Chains A and B, each alone.
Chain A
């Protein structure tokens, strides 16, 4: 197992390296990066100073080396707008995004899993058809539109919920719903197909042959087995949610990293934009690694591999 983990670790490191290289190259490739790395409205002298500072006349690999070093030491530059280190800003906002993502994930699982199970168990019935419609809508409605419509209904018309900001549970409800909606549909779909597969297996047949009540067959024998792929997907989706939340956070002015990104592009605050991309990608690589390691620990076949 250690071999496996080491190999996965190696792959992840390479991915992270390639990630930084990709971002780095993109910035350099578009002609004159100095326009990006300066604040908007800088003078020619400022641009020259930046050019010196970042060594933009140096050979490309030297530039990359210094880029990489600064990343590794946690120096993502300073925000033009806030004038503080970007990493600080990012870490400050991250918990908010995590909170939103967790709430959205909870919502998506609470809706997605039971409806998926119902659809599979009552195949072709009302729940199955309703589920299909739900899945279609979920996957076709853009999350930010859902958010906007929610505001229209619940904030403007009914006046029940606050339309922006954070702080209380009421602030969390609509953004979590808007963000989780798409994933609820995805999780429902997966639960349904996973459940169908499980229900067709031999051990379920045997469970029924034992004369067990149908509720026990479903709740005990089928449920756990069907849930495995869904939870795996959910783990990956959690990280995806954090990154995709940029529009929802913008709609609701939720102070997470999505909103930070929005501010970055609105204020032309390039260090912020670059950092969000880098850290977003890095997060996904790390989470994938963790999930693979988790599998290694759980699955005995991998555990016993030399």
Chain B
């Protein structure tokens, strides 16, 4: 595969610094990922694993207490970390768009749906009001909203949660971005609506040739939607690669535990396996592997040294001392692979 990735994240680190400067939370700690055009990358992890911070870091839209302290973000060959505020603003919504989780609060209650969908078009493409509204109408049709012309004039509180989330999707697509980041877009939706929404996203992705980063904690969605998968734990990517392969044969104990904890129906009466222990405190990281305290396959080395990222071939990477590449030879830890 010689195609240059659309987005290439290398060794990115984002830290939250508390007001007095004494507490540093390493929300994203040396993450490396890439995604190609038209690809769907799923990012999976518990709350606090750093997935949302990663997404916001890509867009460089972090709260004042957060700082990107290292690494590289290359989008379409350009280094995002060196762009000015104005340049980033031109990227947002236009080349890279994002969908948020909660449809009930994502839309401004005081402005009409049409206004909010047309807005990015008017700002980024300097379109006239009339043409922007026409585009908005077409966008509403594309996200399968019934009676779109009526809806355009309505206010968000007049629409249901599912409809609002479609509007948010329409807003995301309005300027034909190359990359769409969806941060748990279906978590707040009713189960029956979720499937519809996912199908819609799939369809839109095909139609517009989008790359899609899908952030979720739900492995079922990953199985349905994603080509590639990255599993995050405590701010690090601990396993990544093609979805099918990881599901078939997970290497990292955490991934394995995650897959085992999905309740399965009709496969005999298996006990629900949960992962013991608590997620780590990101402000006081232990020296070794972050998952060591909860790992079933932990060895001595795991507590003292953080495993580096090693390639397993076929685009798979993993951070684990138990990975075949690590146990096969005596590797000395070096920086990120």
Contacts and interface: CB of A to CB of B under 8 A. Distances in A.
A170 B93 CA distance: 52
A216 to B, nearest CB: 7
A213 B97 CA distance: 15
Contacts of A208: 61, 92
Interface stretch (A199-207, A272-280, A289-297): A199-207
Contact of A211 (B107, B111, B124): B124
Contacts of A202: 100, 102, 105-106
A209 interface: yes
Given A202-B100, A205-B100, A300-B157, A210 B120 contact: yes
Contacts of A205: 61, 100, 106
B98 A209 contact: yes
A213 B98 CA distance: 16
Contacts of A221: 108, 111
B109 to A, nearest CB: 7
B90 interface: yes
A225 interface: yes
Interface string B86-125: 0001111110011010100111111100000001100110
A213 B124 CA distance: 10
A221 B92 CA distance: 17
A224 interface: yes
A211 B100 contact: no
A224 B61 CA distance: 23
A225 B108 contact: yes
Nearest to A213: B89
A216 B119 CA distance: 10
B108 A211 contact: no
Interface in A223-266: 224-225
B224 to A, nearest CB: 25
A210 B271 CA distance: 46
B59 interface: yes
B107 A210 contact: no
A211 B98 contact: no
A119 to B, nearest CB: 15
B100 A216 contact: no
B96 to A, nearest CB: 9
Given A202-B102, A213-B123, A225 B110 contact: yes
Given A209-B93, A209-B97, A211-B124, A225 B109 contact: yes
B171 interface: yes
A88 B97 CA distance: 66
B121 to A, nearest CB: 10
A206 B164 CA distance: 13
Nearest to B104: A202
B125 to A, nearest CB: 11
Measured as residues with beta carbon below 8 angstroms from the partner, the interface class of chain A is: 10 to 19
B51 to A, nearest CB: 16
B105 A203 contact: yes
A207 B89 contact: no
B168 interface: yes
A277 B65 CA distance: 53
Contacts of B61: 205, 208-209
Contacts of B106: 202-203, 205-206
A126 B100 CA distance: 33
A206 B168 contact: yes
A240 to B, nearest CB: 27
Contacts of B168: 206
Interface in B104-159: 105-111, 119-120, 123-124, 157
Contacts of A216: 123
A210 B92 contact: yes
Contact of A206 (B90, B100, B124): B100
Contacts of B94: 211
A211 B91 contact: yes
A88 to B, nearest CB: 45
Contacts of A207: 108
B93 A211 contact: yes
Contacts of B91: 211
Q: Which of A203, A212, A220, A221 has the most CB of B within 10 A?
A: A203
Contacts of A224: 110
A224 B89 CA distance: 23
Contacts of A211: 89-94, 120, 123-124
A123 to B, nearest CB: 8
Contacts of B93: 209-212
Q: Which of A203, A205, A209, A220 has the most CB of B within 10 A?
A: A209
A286 to B, nearest CB: 29
Nearest to B120: A210
A167 to B, nearest CB: 42
Q: Which of B89, B108, B123, B124 has the most CB of A within 10 A?
A: B108
A272 B301 CA distance: 90
Interface in B44-88: 59, 61
A227 to B, nearest CB: 10
A203 B123 contact: no
B162 to A, nearest CB: 17
A81 B177 CA distance: 79
B107 A206 contact: yes
B120 A212 contact: yes
Nearest to A124: B64
Contact of A203 (B89, B98, B107, B157): B107
6 contacts: A202-B105, A206-B107, A206-B168, A211-B89, A211-B90, A212-B93
Given A205-B100, A210-B120, A216-B123, 7 more contacts: A203-B109, A206-B100, A210-B97, A211-B94, A211-B123, A212-B119, A224-B110
Q: Which 7 A-B pairs have the closest CB atoms?
A: A211-B92, A211-B93, A202-B105, A210-B93, A203-B108, A210-B120, A209-B98
